[in-house]
Amino acid sequence: MTDHATRGTKYTRRHVLGGAAAASGIALAGCSGSDDGSDGTIEAEGSANLELTGWSADDTESDFVTELANNFDQNNDDISVSYEPVQAEYEQQMRTRLGGGEAPDVFYLDASYFGSFSKEGVLLDLDPLTEVDDYNLDDIFDPLLDAFRYEGTLYGIPKDFSTLSLYYNEPVLNEAGVDEVPESWGGLHDALVAIDEAGSVDAPMVEFANGRMFWSLLHQNGGQVLSDDGSEVLLDSQECIEALEFMIELRDDGVLAIPSEISVDWHGQAMGTEAAAMSIIGPWALPALENDFADVENDIGVAHIPYPTSGERATAAYTVSYSSAADTEYPGASRQLISGLTDDEGMAEWARQGLALSARESHSELEYYQTHDRRRTHLEAGEWSHPVAFGPESNAILNRVNPLLEGAMLGEQEPGEALERATRQINSEVL
């Protein structure tokens, strides 16, 4: 399913040995769960055999999680964990298994379809984790935690997240006379035009045909997708339309291309082959750049996405949770596993793999992020990020909006009309 392509937690296969080496050196000191039942810990129910599952972007990720699971296993005598990643059709499989009562104990859930799971009451509530000592739930970015709440109860803990930021090729910018990275929409527009005139790349900027950056732009302009009570979408508001118009303006001016127009599959490849000078993409592009396009890699800088002068900083966030099934045999042990996987040390270690960002605010102080400033930029944006998840009917909404965005990008639709249509359709059919 394309969820993965657009969400982007997919990394190149040729991952560095660094990953495997680090994975083997994990010490999860902080995750021994005790079952003495005292306040500040989670009660477990005697011995438990837990099944953990997720998808694996590549063998690095599955190696890492296997290591995590093994370590947890060793540190907790009563709990054994077996990890079995799903190879394809993850969402469909989870739905089927949960419906049939055959679900694993702990599993990933992408924020985009989290809502449709939580509303059915099939998830285990994780509020008890707020009371665990040393776990520090508050450290996790609020927008991310909110993405996994339903009606006030917490049903998932973010395992990581990604934000979108502006990637630019510095030499190309300088060559075109752009000395400073643009910080406003107007600035971005002018910079792109200048790059276009300098003519050293195939296209100044590249974006998917479904206009993914729109989800960041609209928030910058003060728009919102769902109304506060979640009963309707507000995509036809003036703010949203302006945001889309800005993106289409870039198309019309010939400075924004779609991947097939410049013979690439995605942004990372576009930046790496210098087919484009700028793009808005997430941290998963960095491993690709580091491994496959090492010669260009040093020229690429990461900045926050430019925002309109009358608006505010915002970006889109993609996040995945660890959740558990409501009817699991071992709720206590499952909660323990989740807290073990997402505690301070566990998350830091995962962050050091460089594939996604740690969901904990305090981790921007980590040495890793001091030395990897591009990823730090992504991490900083977490504060003003908006998860691409729109309630229980998120998939339905995206299924109806994305094709219209595509239509607008391809010139088949006017931006205003596209959003009005989408809003009408969604509000009548879906919500």
**37 contributes a contact to other proteins by CB under 8 A:** no
**38 contributes a contact to other proteins by CB under 8 A:** no
Q: Which residues are CB-neighbours of 219 under 8 A, at least 6 positions away? A: 314, 315, 316, 386
* Distance in angstroms (rounded) separating the CA atoms of residues 114 and 93: 14
Cβ burial, residue 3 (10 Å; 0-12/13-18/19+): middle
Residues in region 86-115 near other proteins by CB under 8 A: 87-89, 91-93, 95-102
* Interface pick for other proteins out of 35, 43, 59, 414 (rule CB under 8 A): 59
Stretch of 29-37, 216-224, 335-343, 402-410 lying at the interface with other proteins (CB under 8 A):
402-410
Residues in region 307-366 near other proteins by CB under 8 A: none
* Interface pick for other proteins out of 345, 406, 414, 431 (rule CB under 8 A): 406
* Interface pick for other proteins out of 26, 52, 56, 223 (rule CB under 8 A): 56
The binding track of 2-31 with respect to other proteins, each residue x by CB under 8 A or -, is x-xx--x-xxxx------------------
**85 contributes a contact to other proteins by CB under 8 A:** yes
Query: Is the Cβ of residue 50 or residue 140 nearer to other proteins in the bound state?
Result: 50
The binding track of 167-186 with respect to other proteins, each residue x by CB under 8 A or -, is --------------------
CB of 352 to other proteins, least distance (A): 20
* Interface pick for other proteins out of 28, 68, 69, 122 (rule CB under 8 A): 122
The binding track of 252-271 with respect to other proteins, each residue x by CB under 8 A or -, is ------x-xx-x-xx-xx--
- Distance of alpha carbon 339 from the chain centroid: 20
Query: Is the Cβ of residue 178 or residue 281 nearer to other proteins in the bound state?
Result: 281
* Interface pick for other proteins out of 396, 414, 416, 427 (rule CB under 8 A): 396
CB of 311 to other proteins, least distance (A): 28
Quick one: which of 160, 139, 140, 164 has its CA closest to 378? 164
Stretch of 50-58, 247-255, 304-312, 379-387 lying at the interface with other proteins (CB under 8 A):
50-58
Q: Total binding residues for other proteins by CB under 8 A?
A: 64
Q: Which residues are CB-neighbours of 304 under 8 A, at least 6 positions away? A: 165, 166, 183, 313, 315, 377, 380, 381
The binding track of 218-237 with respect to other proteins, each residue x by CB under 8 A or -, is --------------------
Query: Is the Cβ of residue 132 or residue 325 nearer to other proteins in the bound state?
Result: 325
Quick one: which of 84, 151, 77 has its CA closest to 121? 151
Query: Is the Cβ of residue 137 or residue 281 nearer to other proteins in the bound state?
Result: 281
Stretch of 21-29, 179-187, 233-241, 389-397 lying at the interface with other proteins (CB under 8 A):
389-397
